Amino acid sequence: MDSLLSALALIASSVPMSASNPIPKKRDFALPVALLLGLAIACVAISRQSLWIDEAETALKAIPPTLHGWWQALYGEHSSNLQLPLYMFYIWGWARFFGTSEFALRAANIPWFLFGIFAIFRFARRHPALRNALLLIYGIHPFVWYYLNEARPYVMQITGACILAGCLLTGMDESDDGFRSRNWWIWFAAGLVLVSSSGLLAVPWAATAVLLLLLTRRKAFVDAAWQTGRGAVCVAALLLATIIIYYAWTLKEGVRPSIISMSFLSIPWVFYEQLGFVGLGPGRVDLHGGGVSLFLPYLLPLCLLAVPMGYAVWRAAAVRFGLGRPSLFLIGIVICPPLAFTFALGFLKQFRVVGRHLTPMLPYILLAEACALLYLWKGKWLDKAMTVLLVFGLLVSSYECRFAFRHSRDDYRAAAAVAIDALAAGRKVWWIADTSGAEYYHVPCSSLDEVPGKAVWLDRVPPDLNSIPDEVVLSKPELCDPTGTIRRFLSDRHYRLTNTFQAFTVWQR
């Protein structure tokens, strides 16, 4: 059976992967140049915008000066952040050196982004054309850009998934003697641990990688695991067992994701995000409480990417990328089980699955898009035109993710400034928004009414309508005022809208 990676490389670069095509020994500056370009890309992608809810929760774990304080903040919150142990510890350590400003917290993604570039060089080193196409897609992909600009664990998870996918594809290649290399086992162990510890939902992707190697190359994999990779395997097994026990403890503690109902519309949204369309459509804040009609004004820009991507799929279907049924079956084993498991979990536990929950799938999408680029570029003028359009569409989508106002984060910083000024003037304030953002931006809040100098915090709880505030700060009514009680109160009492920020409105008597 032709190996999966050999078939992909044959289509992508027309250079077969075999021992007769050794790694070039000539030293060049490709990796340093790629890392410098990656650093430049990261500096452009990362902004100083206000932190939104999830990022503010991250920041509150980074602020405590001691490890004990970090654990108290993490455990005391008792949210799904408790199931992100490696990232939360990493961001706390990062903050000890670089601080907890918006830019500093997001810049913690830069080392992981650069490590992803290094991983692509490591695993695609035998095929310069495929490597360069992967680097191009990785560097301009909107999903990567969006999460580079967010103080959350998803760039770390992308890097771990890239390492794991690289080990998986080279391990499945019978012409590559990776199993005999101790370095391969170190990379594989690191990928398994990094993916598994980056979030509970990533564990099935790590388990699937091991299962696939056992299905395809069981004897070579097991023999080499004992003979060559014994040390790495033992260390990884110990760490993975610790991680699984830790996750089991968090579940016993009752830690669950926030409950937002799962629907079948969430399934296409995952691919909409991961394929790179997210920057060309409506902003995430606009989508809260909206429907499919919100996409209608954006049909033309969405076609900018949909047309070349659809064309690439049509051309791939015509030749099946040169992959036989066994290879297509293997791709299905990699992606379908953890994908189906996550969606099923979303429906059973009623939490909405979005693209970030399936981040470990991204390397396979990057590989498919890179192969499509190279395959189309070798075609006639129409194929080349579609290649250029595909790259241009991804670039525009990334640009919009970073610079378009509709894609900016919830503006807790501006809303907090208004609340602080009102409190300083002796006015009564209702804060109807998340308290993590209030705490990070120093808005004093109390769940009790009439505490001098503090805003009254109301979260999905009908207020005491006998209390009359001077100012009301309201965020995302569909989440913070789902019954409409507060909006009816504002209307009945004739409050007027005085300020509008991203995801916020400010009302005064």
Alpha-carbon 441 to chain mean position:
25
Q: Per-residue pLDDT tens, the chain, 509 aa: give them.
A: 334 444 444 433 333 333 334 444 555 678 899 999 999 999 999 999 999 999 999 999 999 999 999 999 999 888 889 999 999 999 999 999 999 999 999 999 999 999 999 999 988 888 888 899 999 999 999 999 999 999 999 999 999 999 999 988 888 765 656 677 888 899 999 999 999 999 889 999 999 988 888 887 888 888 888 888 888 889 999 999 999 999 999 999 888 766 566 777 788 889 999 999 999 999 888 877 666 788 889 999 999 999 999 988 887 766 544 444 455 566 667 788 899 888 888 888 878 888 899 999 999 999 888 988 888 888 888 989 999 999 999 999 999 999 999 999 999 999 999 999 999 999 999 999 999 999 999 999 887 667 788 998 876 555 565 678 899 999 988 888 888 888 888 998 899 999 999 999 999 98
User: What is the secondary structure of 144-203 as a DSSP string?
Assistant: HHHHHTSSSTHHHHHHHHHHHHHHHHHHT-TTS-GGG-HHHHHHHHHHHHHHHHT-GGGH
Cα 269 from chain centroid (whole Å): 14
What pLDDT score was predicted for residue 204? 92
- Whether 98 and 107 have beta carbons less than 8 Å apart is answered as yes
> Please, how many CA atoms are within 13 Å of residue 303, restricted to the half-sphere of its CB?
5
Which element (helix H / strand E) includes 58? Answer: helix 53-62
Looking at residue 410, what DSSP letter applies? Answer: P
The widest CA-to-CA distance across the chain, in whole angstroms, is 82
pLDDT of residue 9: 41
Residue 6 confidence (pLDDT): 44
- To the question of pTM greater than 0.75 for the whole model, the response is yes
Domain boundaries, the chain: 4-8+29-46+109-407, 412-508
